Amino acid sequence: MASCHFKLCFILCFLHISLSFSEILFLPLTHTLSNNHFTSTHHLLKSTSTRSAARFQHHHNSRLQNHQHRQVSLPLSPGSDYTLSFTLNSQPPQHVSLYLDTGSDLVWFPCQPFECILCEGKAENATVSSPPPKLSSVAKPVHCKSPACSAVHSNLPVSDLCAIANCPLEAIEISDCRSFSCPPFYYAYGDGSLIARLHRDSITLPLANPSLVLHNFTFGCAHTALAEPVGVAGFGPGLLSLPAQLASVSPQLGNQFSYCLVSHSFDSDRVRLPSPLILGRSDERRRVDNDDQVKFVYTSMLNNPKHPYFYCVGLEGISVGRKNIPAPAFLKKVNREGNGGLVVDSGTTFTMLPASLYNSVVAEFDNRVRALNGRAKEIEGTTGLRPCYYFDNVVNVPSLVLHFVGNKSSVTLPRKNYFYDFLDGGDGVKRKRRVGCLMLMNGGDEAELSGGPGATLGNYQQQGFEVVYDLEKRRVGFARRKCASLWESLNQG
């Protein structure tokens, strides 16, 4: 642990923060869903469910990669993602929008000149219209001896990195490779990949007054990508994540963050205010929003030795109505091989469950709903969700409660977070009928989930909650909030 702290200090010892007014900062998250990208509700749901499954499956494929090529989880396509923005302090300053991702630990974005293969239409649909930024003349490449270089190359030894960077042997022998840049690194994900280099420059986070300036901020600059034109702000555990870089100079800002996702039901018109991203301690924040009635339910983070960039927690079970369904044992802990646990993920839309738990939940749900409503099998095929039902009147949907490991660590989901209803038909071919679908997904059998997490809590199920990541006490908390009202109260405060 001491060596880890030393590395963090060494990486970021020149990172400075221009801040004097508060121990808490809040930034706007923009919902990136574009209704114009989808031809129908079925198409939207099918695209999103496919994307959720691909991202979850990718969590378990990294063991197949060469140890020099580190896989991370990145957004695959426009669906239900959230972006934050900052300004690169070049001349003139350049605006950069990035996906918020708690499932990776690096900040990276496209840089000019930039080539993106199979990216047609993706940038527009992700609401990113500005061209990729051009690095300023003062941006500095990270040298191959830096711990930052080792971190981004899956902790390769310095001697190996210096050799890859074509350092001469005599320089490697005396550990003097500071004049050689860190070699390019390769990231792969569900349906694409990128190659980037590490740089340091100043960035400004969008605050009213005064602004927050991070000098010598470390980020990846990508000149080539496959199917991914938008960068990522990694918020996962790791030396190069945005919270880690904040924590090195301001523990009050970097040791805790939270977000509150405004409920959207896949309707972009419903999202009139941004979702707040809050950097800083909750006790300080309460003095800002004057809400002392907020009660968080906490569960401890689990250590994952193989996937340290995930926020893993334990899941005890799920209640459907009054029926409590215990989770399989591997969801309650993470073993030495990195198997098990549930990942709290801002970058996956729908919650993914192992087949045994998913089938039990679906069976109990179906027993309670099907008696009064017919199954919509064809809708299940066109959306990727199941079970789905036709109903003419208000459907009686049982409650759904997540039971996390820990005393009194249960979270009751609002109906709209797990049951989505919409109108089907009315096109002159089919009569108009109301349809509702359960928005949990089958992640596969336990044998298929080896080498990664057993389940993922998606961002759709997190809507309407403030989700806090307490990195100092190593716990994740949930509290029901009116996220749009929280944004307004933070601004007023």
Active-site positions read 101, 345
Q: How far is CA 288 from CA 281, 297, 489, in A?
A: 11, 21, 8
Q: How far is CA 58 from the centre of its chain?
A: 14
Q: What are phi and psi of 125, to 5 degrees?
A: -70, -20
Residue where the block lists tokens 């709209």: 416
Q: Which amino acid is at 119?
A: C
- Tell whether the torsion through CA atoms of 148, 151, 157 and 163 is positive or negative: negative
Instruction: Report the DSSP beta bridge partners of residue 95.
Output: 87
Torsion angle in degrees (nearest 10) through CA of 64, 69, 72, 78: -100
List the 315-320 sheet strands across, edge first. 323-326, 315-320, 400-404, 410-413
Q: How far is CA 325 from the centre of its chain?
A: 27
Q: Where are the beta strands (DSSP E) in 118-270?
A: 140-141, 185-189, 192-205, 212-226, 231-234, 256-260
d(CA 117, CA 430) in angstroms, rounded, equals 39
Tally Cβ neighbours within 10 Å of residue 36: 9
d(CA 442, CA 408) in angstroms, rounded, equals 27
Termini Cα distance of the chain = 38
116 three-class SS = strand
The three-state DSSP-derived secondary structure of 199-213 is EEEEEEECCCCCCEE
Q: What are phi and psi of 164, to 5 degrees?
A: -60, -35
d(CA 181, CA 175) in angstroms, rounded, equals 14
d(CA 320, CA 328) in angstroms, rounded, equals 16
d(CA 358, CA 46) in angstroms, rounded, equals 19
65 three-class SS = coil
- Tell whether the torsion through CA atoms of 459, 285, 406 and 306 is positive or negative: positive
d(CA 367, CA 470) in angstroms, rounded, equals 39
d(CA 43, CA 58) in angstroms, rounded, equals 22
d(CA 222, CA 258) in angstroms, rounded, equals 28
Bridging pattern class, strands 107-117 and 212-226: parallel
d(CA 371, CA 377) in angstroms, rounded, equals 15
